[in-house]
A and B are shown apart, each in its own frame.
Chain A
Amino acid sequence: LAKTTQPISMDSYEGQEVNITCSHNNIATNDYITWYQQFPSQGPRFIIQGYKTKVTNEVASLFIPADRKSSTLSLPRVSLSDTAVYYCLVGDRMNSGYSTLTFGKGTMLLVSP
């Protein structure tokens, strides 16, 4: 089963760039890497997804090295509203043989003024 490891927490200040790294040493060949953001008492929200190299959208960038055993979510110029838990997910092959999304412990990002 693919598992992910992330830092439990990170602190930053407004306007800084934040990079959160996730390890997924057992990622399968056909697995994508997906990041979600979650605020308290709300459902997780999709941020970005990638398979290899670099992906960028309007809110974040995702860097994936060639061996795909890790990935880094980059949030440019964070604001107070980026304080949330960030989850890195890869496909997790269940006992049934199917692969689906299971969440690791996530990273609590605290942005201060």
Chain B
Amino acid sequence: DTEVTQTPKHLVMGMTNKKSLKCEQHMGHRAMYWYKQKAKKPPELMFVYSYEKLSINESVPSRFSPECPNSSLLNLHLHALQPEDSALYLCASSQGVFGATEAFFGQGTRLTVV
């Protein structure tokens, strides 16, 4: 199984809502990532988890809260988002840590904040 599964595929939320994005992989990968991608822009790194510990937080606002419950799961909790946070949110995983190996990406969650 070489899949990274993200749910939901689409999400519309209001600015006062709380929601969560989920990501799952069963490849035994030790690193997991969250990226944000706006239209016609490259993916921007948000968070990196290594061995279930947060290793990199790229100055992401606190309204985005990552969580890694176990080695296969990665969540992104959303609260009080702004319309400019609307984007494609991508999860990825890799066997090696920090860029030395192939990363597998999920299909993303298309988030719309209204």
Given A34-B102, A91-B99, A101-B103, A43 and B42 contact (CB-CB distance below 8 Å):
no
Q: Are A101 and B45 neighbours in the complex by a CB distance under 8 Å? A: yes
Interface centre among B4, B48, B100 (most CB of A within 10 A): B100
Main secondary structure of the interface of B (DSSP, over half): strand
Q: How distant is the Cα of A55 from the Cα of B96 in the complex, in angstroms?
A: 20
Size of interface on A: residues with Cβ below 8 Å to B: 27
Q: How distant is the Cα of A94 from the Cα of B101 in the complex, in angstroms?
A: 17
Q: For the complex, is B72 an interface residue (Cβ under 8 Å from A)?
A: no
State how many angstroms separate the Cβ of B4 from the closest Cβ of chain A: 7
Residues in B lying within 8 Å of A, measured CB to CB: 4, 33, 35, 42-45, 48, 50, 55-56, 58, 88, 90, 92, 97-108, 110
